[in-house]
Structure 1
């Protein structure tokens, strides 16, 4: 799969207004999601995935094989994401059994080389609904580094997704995920200014067809023109999205 997206930042004070604009544009109310994201760093030398217990019976076996091929050529940081409930999972003192819960394994490649366009294009693999992902990481020598909370609000118009995201630090817990989650209101945003990042996304399932990728890019440029008086979509250095390097450092949250 190839993911193409535009990127803009939105001040927290403008967030409600911009959500209202996108609600009118898409004729839908935003869907809020909160994910707990664990970062795992690959081994120093690239190595394909060995037959892990996590995916032996997976219906997504072709995705696992494709991911294995990617990891054989370069070492990457992988994300393991779990969707959370604001009411049930924060500040309750409960401990998550990661290997019993289904999670999503995320991998993204270094984006294509820079061009004079605000559209970022990169190869992506997401493997959803997978149990025992921490076992899979351990079986393959991927090392837990840190974790964050991701809060998102998404809108959809036809095949285009508009996603506001903001990240929060969790209290430092060297070597393993924090045992229990603090109250959501005690979390510290990664960005001190508390800005939101807006991504306007399109996915091309068959990334071996350049015509489809080009058409998706042109469609996003059309969205940029449609919204340019509201959002400033930047041309970004692809190194910002380089997952071949270490995950971001963790700063302890309040409480």
Structure 2
């Protein structure tokens, strides 16, 4: 299971265009603009005793994601989490923005979706710069994610439209993103495409996340930490990477018992 190492900076709305120019220059690559629909999923039973659907998928020999489903099955039995169902809706949103009269109003049920699980970040350590966080993460790309989650009795608790710009350099991803809240009917219906006019920015700033994904081997985790620390020094004076309490990234669901 990979580890994600990341650091985070806040970019005010008025500085977003400048930030994009800086990141284009730093990486010497063209930005990639994306829109992603996110549904935050939670199981109806907050403390399930079994997740038969995930267990079945983990035993299918021809399923390329079998090992990941098995891992997720074990994780969610031990602790309940909010997980994300993500789908790229960039073509649909750009068509909508252009006023195209033939723009799609719903997503194809077979469009690729990704299920994402994020672990609670590791505790702070004197060996790691305070602005860095690291956590285990799991992504499963499957056209049947929506049906699988429904069969496993997961329901959407909330939803969002994520607008983001992406750059890459030396296996490090730079992501400048803004979260927009969307109406209930836009996320409760899995095929609905959020209307930009009904999406509301969650805050008057963008979030810059610089991250690296590495295998969970100590030497590779150390290498990822070193590369991000070097990147922080390179961007010093341009972006201030904040020291956050790791609870800001907590997706666990605590039992009320």
When normalised by structure 1's length, the TM-score is 0.85
Gaps of 5+ in 2: none
Quote the RMSD (CA, aligned, Å). Answer: 2.4
Number of the residue aligned with 1:36: 37
Please give the alpha-carbon distance, in whole angstroms, between the structure 2 residues aligned to 1:50 and 1:38.
22
Distance 2:120 2:164 in 1: 23
For residues 83 and 4 of structure 2, the distance between their equivalents in structure 1, rounded to whole angstroms, comes to 16
Contact 2:7 2:209 in 1 (8 A): yes
Alpha-carbon distance change, 178 to 214 in structure 1, aligned in 2, over 3 angstroms = closer
Give the stretch that moved more between structures: 226-235 or 171-180.
171-180
**Does 1:210 pair with 2:222?**
no
Measure how far apart 1:161 and its partner are.
0.8
Alignment of 1:225-244 (within 5 A): 225-244=233-252
- 1:13 corresponds in structure 2 to 14
> Which residue does 1:51 correspond to in 2?
53
Shift of 1:175: 8.7
User: Which of 106, 112, 130 is matched with 1:95 structurally?
Assistant: 106
Task: Work out whether residues 6 and 200 of structure 1, in 8 Å CA contact, stay in contact via their aligned partners in 2.
Answer: yes
Alignment map for 1:1-255 (pairs within 5 Å): 1-42=2-43, 43-47=45-49, 49-51=51-53, 56=60, 57-84=62-89, 85=91, 86-88=93-95, 92=103, 94-98=105-109, 100-115=110-125, 117-128=130-141, 130-173=142-185, 176-177=188-189, 180-191=192-203, 193=204, 195-204=205-214, 206-207=215-216, 209-245=217-253
Indicate if the aligned counterparts of 2:186 and 2:192 stay in contact, CA closer than 8 A.
no
Query: How far off its partner does 1:211 sit?
Result: 2.0
**Alpha-carbon distance in structure 1 between the residues aligned to 2:171 and 2:194:** 36
Deviation at 1:179, TM superposition (A): 6.7
Q: Secondary structure at the match of 1:87?
A: helix
Distance 2:80 2:10 in 1: 30
Unaligned runs of 5+ in 1: 247-255
